Amino acid sequence: MSENLIEVQGLTKKYGEFVAVNGIDFHVRKSESFGFLGPNGAGKSTTMRILAATSRRTSGEVSVLGRDPEIHGPQIRAHLGVVPQEGNLDVQLTVTENLYIYGRYFGLSSKFIRSKIDDLLEFAQLEEKRDTKVDALSGGMKRRLIIARSLVSDPDILILDEPTTGLDPQARHILWDRLFRLKEDGMTLLITTHYMDEAEQLCDRLIVMDKGSIMSEGSPAELIREHSTREVLEVRFGSEQNVRMAPAMEKFCDRIEVLPDRILLYTEDAEAVLEEIVGAGHSPKTSLVRRSSLEDVFLRLTGRSLID
């Protein structure tokens, strides 16, 4: 078992009466890709800010790289790469200048930063844009630049808060590819996301969060095994009909979820269930057979969808 880079016990953060994070425990091992999955407002970003030593906790124990972020903030931050949810590049400066000044904030020498810039630009696939003002970059390019920027100091842990939120599918896939490369290189990654496909692709292990608490913890496969069935059958009877058809559908499997636009049937063999339904004389307008996902896990744990 490799060593824990992060250890958290009973972490709580309150803003006045509001409890943003409610006594959570977890640890992150070296070279692990660790995810926080949950809807907006689950407390993921707050947790990240505390780990990144930029926010104070209300109570609990937190250790990042063996130190308390509240006491050793600057020392810890010297070893972290942070990709914030809200872009804070200097849009007046060029791509290269942004990388350069960020490296300077770490006190890195000009020579060292300049020697890294080409690699970082290559990693971010921004070689062509090196002298372009950040203002003129697309959303996906900006996000890749922020990730490259976070790597300028050779961090021990990379913290990514909603790295692909707001990007189009193609830009997201490029970004996942880049992050996967870092993971392969042994970088320790902390990722918050409300996209279950992102969590499934990138995270070795994750915690499912809702309303400041941890609902479950494990690898994506473990979570699905534990909280869902192997397969899911989605049937649609039309928006008015779904609720009316729900009692009839319950007979075909152990558990169903009725969503506004469709009914989900949890089963080990979705094809067989679909045949039974059709055989019984029901005629759904559309049907879809798929594997269970983290979305189903979340629905099971909270009764709600990840994306409202």
Partner 1 sequence: MTLLGTTRKVPKFGARYVLESQIRAMLKFFWLIAAMAILNPLLYLVSFGIGVGSLISQHIGPHGIDGVSYLTFIAPALLASSAIQSSMDETIFSTLEGFKWRKLFFGMNATPQTGNTIAGGVFLAAMVRTVIGVSVYSAILYFFGAMNSPHAYLAIPIAIFAGASFGAIMLAFASHVHNEDLFLTIIGRFLIGPMFLFSGTFYPLKSLPSALQIFGWISPLWHATELGRYATYGHQISVTMVIIHFAFLLVMLVVGLFFGFRQFSRRLAK
Residues that bind partner 1 (CB under 8 A): 3-5, 52, 54-56, 63, 65-67, 72-80, 82, 84, 86, 88-93, 97, 101-102, 104-107, 150, 153-154, 156
Is 90 or 168 the residue whose CB approaches partner 1 more closely? 90
Is 72 or 282 the residue whose CB approaches partner 1 more closely? 72
Asked whether 96 and 110 are in contact (CB, 8 A), the reply is no
Spatial separation of the C-alpha atoms in residues 254 and 51, rounded to whole Å: 41
Residue 254 burial (C-beta neighbours within 10 Å; 0-12, 13-18, 19+): exposed
Min dist CB 13 to partner 1, Å, is 11
Spatial separation of the C-alpha atoms in residues 33 and 186, rounded to whole Å: 9
Phi-psi region of 2 (alpha: psi -120 to 50; beta: other; left: phi over 0): beta
Residue 109 burial (C-beta neighbours within 10 Å; 0-12, 13-18, 19+): exposed
Is 107 or 303 the residue whose CB approaches partner 1 more closely? 107
Spatial separation of the C-alpha atoms in residues 99 and 166, rounded to whole Å: 23
Min dist CB 24 to partner 1, Å, is 19
Is 89 or 121 the residue whose CB approaches partner 1 more closely? 89
Is 103 or 284 the residue whose CB approaches partner 1 more closely? 103
Spatial separation of the C-alpha atoms in residues 153 and 135, rounded to whole Å: 24
Min dist CB 47 to partner 1, Å, is 14
Is 98 or 242 the residue whose CB approaches partner 1 more closely? 98
φ and ψ of 191, to 5 deg: -130, 125
Min dist CB 19 to partner 1, Å, is 16
| CA distances, 265 to each of 194, 241, 274, 292, 306 (Å) | 23, 16, 10, 10, 18
Is 137 or 256 the residue whose CB approaches partner 1 more closely? 137
Residue with tokens 């709600």: 304
Min dist CB 104 to partner 1, Å, is 5
Min dist CB 134 to partner 1, Å, is 10
Asked whether 144 and 178 are in contact (CB, 8 A), the reply is yes
Min dist CB 192 to partner 1, Å, is 15
Asked whether 191 and 202 are in contact (CB, 8 A), the reply is yes
Min dist CB 107 to partner 1, Å, is 2
Is 55 or 302 the residue whose CB approaches partner 1 more closely? 55
Asked whether 147 and 187 are in contact (CB, 8 A), the reply is no
Q: Indicate the SS3 state at residue 178.
A: helix
